Structure 1
Amino acid sequence: MKPITTITATMLAILPVSVFAQDAAENAAEDTFAGHGIFFTVSGGLVSAPSFLGSGEASVYALPNISVAIGDRLNVSLLDGVSYDVYKDDNLSAGATLTYDFGREDTPSEHALLLSSVPNSEIAGLGDIEETAVVGGYIEYIYGNMQATLEIRKGVDGGHDGIVGDVDVTYNAPVEIFGKQSVISFGPTASFSDDSYASTFFDVSAAQSAASGISEYDADGGLMSYGLHASAYVPLNQNVALVGFAAFDQLTGDVAESSIVQERGAEEQVTAGLILNYTF
């Protein structure tokens, strides 16, 4: 059984990546653990998300995570994989990632971290999409309170060998919440893929159609979705921070026209969550 669904894992991308939020966490840790170059963060929270990409049903999941920051370039996360800044200066950073696509189950109701009910016949018959090791790269540019990021990833071993990417533009606004210097981040986002990725998640073969009752469909790549993501980072003390996030994504193109989406799901994808981080 997979530990977490594709859509829930994707929500990690919504968590605040603002330089202000990161600096606040790093400075808090440095103030408490001066001289240490390794910081651990244990996270726990709840996420309401579609049970699969394209689902019209919202489900609530537990979201546990452990991450390690080694210096200011290397990050390792249980859910988000490994990222390393190959190049880094005050405004521009570029690096590589090794992540894990958790695939898709055709029986979302059996998910190990599921806390609410899911119609167990929603996509039964499509078959599971196996987990996939994914490599990628990213480039990020920061100018004042604005931040732009491009990330591209490719499956190399497992359920798919497709290419998928994201473009994000984020405005980071320092604010005071609960009497604490905090950060609200928000901005537009878009996702795209090649034919292989779109086919893996949104095609319906003749055999799958017969087993599931969903019409046959052949998806091509291109722009998959566009939307608006927002998050709030609130440090409660030097070690503990509260993170809230929400996202609206509109599926588009061949993905939106897939019979999976049209007959068993929805083009509008809404996600929200609340997470507590403890850094030491």
Structure 2
Amino acid sequence: MIDRNPLLRKLTPQPLPLLLVAGTILALASSARAQEGVVRWYDTVRQPLSDWRLVAGGGALLAPAYEGSNEFELSPVPYISATFGILTIDTRGATLRAYDAESFSLDLTAGYDSGRDEDDADHLEGLGDVDWGIDLTIKASYEAGPGELYASLTRTLGGSDGLTGTFGAAASHRLSDTATMTLGASSTWADGRYMDSYFSVTPSQSARSGLATYDADAGFKRIDLDLAVAWRFTGRWTLISQVGLGYLLGDAADSPIVEEELQPSMALLVVYGF
């Protein structure tokens, strides 16, 4: 909403909403690749208004024009996040934490899937649009020292009407008192409705686009590696850089819609914490 993401939670030296920034970068990258980003959603809001925290900033993202494209787009990345106790509202949506124990946490999320426009690339002409939808996600995470294991399940209402699951791990390393590096790896599974929306080609789409007809089945559609570094260069300013490398698998990789199986991305963001 992918969110998107243990990579974001270990990036900055302090446990502020700044940790959400890298996840937002990854979620926006996922939007550019037929969004699979996860937005977290928590339990109740009972903290006083003074508990709100605000983070704002922006940067740039370079990512494939769509999932499977061999063309890249450079896009601006605006960011704002407000935290009120266990509720966070940011550019991805709203997040509530349902459960938080010493090492285990459970998040419920409400976000959005931006879908895909056939105008995103010449190769998509004739395929029609995949409409936007609402993403509802449940995510379980287990932390052990600098590492984290997680699994999430996302149901999209509207758009693809699909179901996706992401399984991954991340580990962080403190480079200095003001800089942290995090490495993450994940794999993503998708059901038949999601795969049909983004990777299948119907006879009518084939006639309009010139692509061969294709029926994509459910299965694991991609794996991802991500490396991020966050540097708090003053008391309230943080610079975050991220590079990602995705690789399409199975029926997704074999689709005539896909021009390139290797899906790299990179982003740079500067944020200010209030």
Quote the Cα distance in structure 2 between the aligned partners of 1:15 and 1:62: 23
Q: Deviations over 1:38-74 (max 9, x none)?
A: 1111121111100001111121111112221122x22
Correspondences of 1:1-280 after superposition (within 5 Å): 10=2, 13=4, 16-19=7-10, 21=12, 23-25=14-16, 36-71=50-85, 73-78=86-91, 80-108=92-120, 120-156=121-157, 158-176=158-176, 180-261=177-258, 265-280=259-274
Quote the Cα distance in structure 2 between the aligned partners of 1:54 and 1:273: 19
Q: Deviations over 1:3-28 (max 9, x none)?
A: xxxxxx65x53684234627343699
Match of 2:44 in 1: none
Quote the Cα distance in structure 2 between the aligned partners of 1:160 and 1:196: 6
Quote the Cα distance in structure 2 between the aligned partners of 1:81 and 1:15: 17
Quote the Cα distance in structure 1 between the aligned partners of 2:186 and 2:154: 16
Aligned-residue offset at 1:217: 0.7
What letter corresponds to residue 205 of structure 1 in structure 2?
Answer: T
Aligned pairs, number: 245
Structure 2 gaps, min length 5: 20-48
Quote the Cα distance in structure 2 between the aligned partners of 1:208 and 1:26: 44
Alignment check: 8 A CA contact 1:153 1:163 kept = yes
Quote the Cα distance in structure 1 between the aligned partners of 2:123 and 2:18: 46
Quote the Cα distance in structure 2 between the aligned partners of 1:46 and 1:189: 23
Match of 2:43 in 1: none
Quote the Cα distance in structure 1 between the aligned partners of 2:53 and 2:218: 39
Alignment check: 8 A CA contact 2:195 2:217 kept = yes
Structure 1 gaps, min length 5: 1-8, 29-34, 109-119
What letter corresponds to residue 270 of structure 1 in structure 2?
Answer: P
Quote the Cα distance in structure 1 between the aligned partners of 2:99 and 2:59: 32
| 1:204 aligned counterpart, secondary structure | coil
What letter corresponds to residue 181 of structure 2 in structure 1?
Answer: I
Q: Deviations over 1:74-117 (max 9, x none)?
A: 21112x22221110123111020001000001112xxxxxxxxx
What letter corresponds to residue 251 of structure 1 in structure 2?
Answer: L
Q: Deviations over 1:94-149 (max 9, x none)?
A: 020001000001112xxxxxxxxxxx522111111111011110011110010112
Quote the Cα distance in structure 2 between the aligned partners of 1:75 and 1:184: 24
What letter corresponds to residue 246 of structure 1 in structure 2?
Answer: V
Alignment check: 8 A CA contact 1:14 1:229 kept = no
| 1:211 aligned counterpart, secondary structure | helix
TM-score (norm 2): 0.84
Match of 1:113 in 2: none
Alignment check: 8 A CA contact 1:101 1:131 kept = yes
TM-score (norm 1): 0.82
